[in-house]
């Protein structure tokens, strides 16, 4: 790892990798990640990635996204995402991402909750892994991209609201000052702050606390999505998600008496509320999800990972319902960015779940996350190449003593984030 790069990208999920791959090979790029490179939430995405299915679908797709987001979405950002979706998918196909196809060889589409029609491409029930692993392999093969694992960003280097790099620490608490005229924050959401979450536990929203320290604008950080269906377990750790596609393909939800109690295809927040209400009414810790209506062929072809994981927990989804419960899943707020993924600090960009460009509004529509990440990661790369250049950062050497107690430092960031979430919740009430 050198002291100077053209671009530093924090995070090795879909957003960070796609940004790096959309920058030319003449740029020296450093990517850092807190754990191993494949331990980002992008690898966990099950359902799929949306694609606009022609002009006849535009109004429906736009309305589906807006309705799910309670009409708090940034319309320009939604339009940009929809209009960019076909070029993103074409590019993924050239990168040998393998989406499901029908007998004629055409792309196969599935439907999920709150979608008016099927428009979601998928690879079994591990779409995120299929996309992100292909991007990671390509980034690892590029000589101009250096990926450093077990390296945690603990601060930004900045002066006069101009970013000049990052301060990072390795597992041995050695401190690194790494300089670059461009920094891209693509370090995921904040699920690690919650007891029950589908996210990796090390993804704790560090970038938000660091942004607050530097006065960088945030937006809607209390907009936190609960996924309605995760596999119920008393074991500690990350919750296993039962994909939205399962209900989109026809699975039912039952109460403790085996009775359906709600519309399974509602937006996620409304369905989560319905499940919580039913659990409270009947004093239960979960409800039941029944995949048997899908038929064994669909289960084994479309959801082999879910089938295997449930079998490990003692449930055969071909023959019986499984217990499910809502859990924290996704973060709609974040570091405020424009349509070029620029933050309020010169030279600093954010994309993916770390950022808030307004696409999702108050509640994300199923399978818009991977698409949004890729669209605005490419926008960040384009802006770095063709946008207005930041002024040189005049920051001097960092005070290394300020970073010697990493645990206290990171705990402080987490406390600041949680306090700000509570403050914004009260403002929105």
Boundary (domain end) residue, out of 296, 313, 328: 328
Rounded CA-CA distance 88/382 in Å is: 14
Task: Identify the CA nearest to 287 among candidates 274, 271, 275, 273.
Answer: 275
Q: Quick one: 393 and 370 in the same domain?
A: yes
Rounded CA-CA distance 34/180 in Å is: 19
Rounded CA-CA distance 251/26 in Å is: 50
Number of other residues whose CB lies within 10 A of the CB of residue 9: 32
What residues make up the domain containing 46?
7-223+332-428
**pLDDT at residue 51, rounded to an integer:** 97
Task: Identify the CA nearest to 420 among candidates 212, 215, 217.
Answer: 212
Q: Quick one: 279 and 349 in the same domain?
A: no
Region of 93 (left: φ > 0; alpha: ψ -120 to 50; beta: rest) is: alpha
Which tokens belong to 368?
């818009």
Active site residue 342: no
C-beta separation of 253 from 275 below 8 A:
yes
pTM score of the predicted model: 0.93
Q: Which residues are within 8 A (CB) of 385 and not within 5 positions of it... i.e. 6 or more apart?
A: 23, 24
Residue 342, in any domain of the structure: yes
Residue 270, in any domain of the structure: yes
Which tokens belong to 228?
């309605």
Q: Quick one: 215 and 249 in the same domain?
A: no
* Helix/strand/coil for 332: coil
**pLDDT at residue 291, rounded to an integer:** 98
Ordered DSSP codes for 61-120: HHHHHHHHTTT-S-HHHHHHHHHHHHHHHHHHHHTT----B-TTSPBP-B--TT-SS--E
C-beta separation of 306 from 317 below 8 A:
yes
Q: Quick one: 210 and 245 in the same domain?
A: no
Q: Quick one: 129 and 261 in the same domain?
A: no
Q: What are the residue ranges in the chain where pLDDT is below 50?
A: none
Tell me 286's DSSP state: -
Q: Quick one: 164 and 276 in the same domain?
A: no
Residue 1, in any domain of the structure: no
CATH code for the domain in which residue 303 is found: 3.90.700.10
C-beta separation of 288 from 254 below 8 A:
yes
Q: Quick one: 104 and 190 in the same domain?
A: yes
Rounded CA-CA distance 405/173 in Å is: 8
Q: Quick one: 242 and 219 in the same domain?
A: no
**pLDDT at residue 207, rounded to an integer:** 96
Residue 238, in any domain of the structure: yes
Residue 256, in any domain of the structure: yes
Q: Quick one: 76 and 168 in the same domain?
A: yes
Task: Identify the CA nearest to 250 among candidates 204, 303, 296, 291.
Answer: 291
**pLDDT at residue 237, rounded to an integer:** 80
Which tokens belong to 84?
């960019």
Q: Quick one: 117 and 83 in the same domain?
A: yes
Boundary (domain end) residue, out of 301, 328, 355: 328
Q: Quick one: 164 and 138 in the same domain?
A: yes
C-beta separation of 384 from 182 below 8 A:
yes
Residue 235 class from Cβ within 10 Å (0-12 exposed, 13-18 middle, 19+ buried)? exposed
**pLDDT at residue 154, rounded to an integer:** 97
Residue 2, in any domain of the structure: no
Rounded CA-CA distance 28/6 in Å is: 5
C-beta separation of 197 from 139 below 8 A:
no
CATH code for the domain in which residue 89 is found: 3.50.50.60
Could you give phi then psi for residue 328, rounded to 5 degrees? -55, 140
**pLDDT at residue 235, rounded to an integer:** 84
Q: How are strands ordered across the β-sheet holding 151-159?
A: 151-159, 162-170, 175-179
Rounded CA-CA distance 82/156 in Å is: 33
Annotated active-site residue in 238, 239, 247, 268: 268
Q: Which residues are within 8 A (CB) of 15 and not within 5 positions of it... i.e. 6 or more apart?
A: 42, 186, 351, 352, 353, 354, 373, 374, 376, 377
**pLDDT at residue 195, rounded to an integer:** 82
Boundary (domain end) residue, out of 310, 328, 346: 328
Question: How many domains does the structure of the chain reveal?
Answer: 2
**pLDDT at residue 217, rounded to an integer:** 98
Residue 362, in any domain of the structure: yes
Q: What is the pLDDT of residues 232-268, one digit of tens each?
A: 998 878 899 999 899 999 999 999 999 999 999 999 8
Residue 234, in any domain of the structure: yes
Q: Quick one: 14 and 143 in the same domain?
A: yes
């Amino acid at each position: 790892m050198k002291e100077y790069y053209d671009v530093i990208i924090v995070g090795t999920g879909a957003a960070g990798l796609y940004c790096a791959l959309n920058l030319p090979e003449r740029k020296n790029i450093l990517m850092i990640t807190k754990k191993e490179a494949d331990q980002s939430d992008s690898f966990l995405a099950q359902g799929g990635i949306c694609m606009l299915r022609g002009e006849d679908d535009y109004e429906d797709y736009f309305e589906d996204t807006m309705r799910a987001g309670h009409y708090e979405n940034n319309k320009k950002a939604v339009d940009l995402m929809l209009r960019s979706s076909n070029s993103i998918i074409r590019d993924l196909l050239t990168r040998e991402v393998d989406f499901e196809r029908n007998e004629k060889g055409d792309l196969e589409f599935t439907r999920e909750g709150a979608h008016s029609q099927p428009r979601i491409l998928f690879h079994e029930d591990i779409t995120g892994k299929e996309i992100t692993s292909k991007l990671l392999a390509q980034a690892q093969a590029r000589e101009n991209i250096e990926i450093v694992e077990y390296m945690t960003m603990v601060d930004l280097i900045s002066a006069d609201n101009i970013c000049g790099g990052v301060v990072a620490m390795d597992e041995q608490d050695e401190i690194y000052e790494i300089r670059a005229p461009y920094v891209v924050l693509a370090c995921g959401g904040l699920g690690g702050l919650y007891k029950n979450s589908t996210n990796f536990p090390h993804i704790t929203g560090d970038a938000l606390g660091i942004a607050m320290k530097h006065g960088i604008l945030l937006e809607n950080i209390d907009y936190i999505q609960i996924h309605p269906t995760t596999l119920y377990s008393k074991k500690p750790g990350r919750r296993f998600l039962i994909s939205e596609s399962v209900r989109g393909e026809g699975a039912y939800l039952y109460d403790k008496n085996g009775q359906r109690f709600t519309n399974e295809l509602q937006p996620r927040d409304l369905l989560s509320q319905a499940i919580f209400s039913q659990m409270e009414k009947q004093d239960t810790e979960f409800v039941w999800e029944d995949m048997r209506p899908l038929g064994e062929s669909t289960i084994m072809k479309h959801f082999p990972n879910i089938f295997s994981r449930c079998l490990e927990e003692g449930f055969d989804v071909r023959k019986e319902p499984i217990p499910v419960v809502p859990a924290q899943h996704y973060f709609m707020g974040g570091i405020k960015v424009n349509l070029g993924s620029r933050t309020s600090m010169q030279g600093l960009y954010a994309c993916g779940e770390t950022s808030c460009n307004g696409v999702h509004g108050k509640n994300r529509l199923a399978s818009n996350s991977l698409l949004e990440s890729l669209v605005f990661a490419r926008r960040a790369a384009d802006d770095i190449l063709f946008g207005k250049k930041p002024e040189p950062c005049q920051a001097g050497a960092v005070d290394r003593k300020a970073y010697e107690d990493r645990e206290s430092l990171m705990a402080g960031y987490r406390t600041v984030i949680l306090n700000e979430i509570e403050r914004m919740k009260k403002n929105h009430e």
